[in-house]
Structure 1
């Protein structure tokens, strides 16, 4: 996901406030990349050179910090899904988007779980961004299902859960470097619609 984040509405526009905000985001990116999304927020503040109270003034919760880090990347994924809906090959379009989503979801240890938890919690600051991603996934999935390329017994929640599970698996140290591609290929193959097999007629006695 893109590391450039827009300046949030409502926060101070003073130069020192901006610098502190950006230092906190840079520290969070580095800390989460090393330790995952459950990393200590005190460590984030320490790396940014500020107090934990200052961190909480900018980001009242861990989810608020994650939302700011992930917002632009999620916006890009939503726009990408909207573009891919117009593809002449809906099945391949969905597969392309799934791969891009999986790369984004595997960015930090713990991120897949954070996203799935936020989807289930409307009170989470991260919920709106994740729900927007689910809606984009639903539109792209429905388009592929209407074309007959993708099995009909699947919804957007199940799709996101499956992709996030694959993203989690790719972060595990025991797997080889190409394991993520293998997992995603298996997932995408499993989504394909299967031809209906004709029922064999019973032989007459």
Structure 2
């Protein structure tokens, strides 16, 4: 089965960067762990290999990258990319854990490490989580303006205050929902104009526990 089409970047800067790592961060539950094929086309549907452009990356481990510096014309076209997933992934049944919230950002940040969550919630998280998701103010998604120290299903989630433009990272709360990527909102009561975030996350359970 194929994923949806992704178009997270425009070629106006250094090129069109549709890397697998960036796509997984932005769409954490939309790409399988080990894609078996990748396809890229322009937004109008022309296959990438028919455009005559040179690609820096175009594979199942890195994703797709077209750099402006490699083109005779000076700028890449705007591309979209999708990935093919193994049949076992497409047919397997998966389920979500509950939402976990063990820390608040009043110290160094919000630390929701998988090791800590397993210790505090024995038997509630599968042996090999496949995905992790985050939520802000009851809206699911990943935020481009935030910097996360750790955000993956093998280690968990960490938002450090020192990495943020604002003073304090968001807090995590329990809950379960699904939605498209949200936008951030400024905290109107914070005179220092820092961002007030509430982050939630969930692990995708596998079939074998």
Q: Which of the five TM-score ranges fits, normalised by the shorter chain?
A: under 0.3
TM-score after normalising by structure 1: 0.24
TM-score after normalising by structure 2: 0.24
Higher alpha-carbon Rg: 1
In terms of fraction of residues, the more helix-rich structure is 1
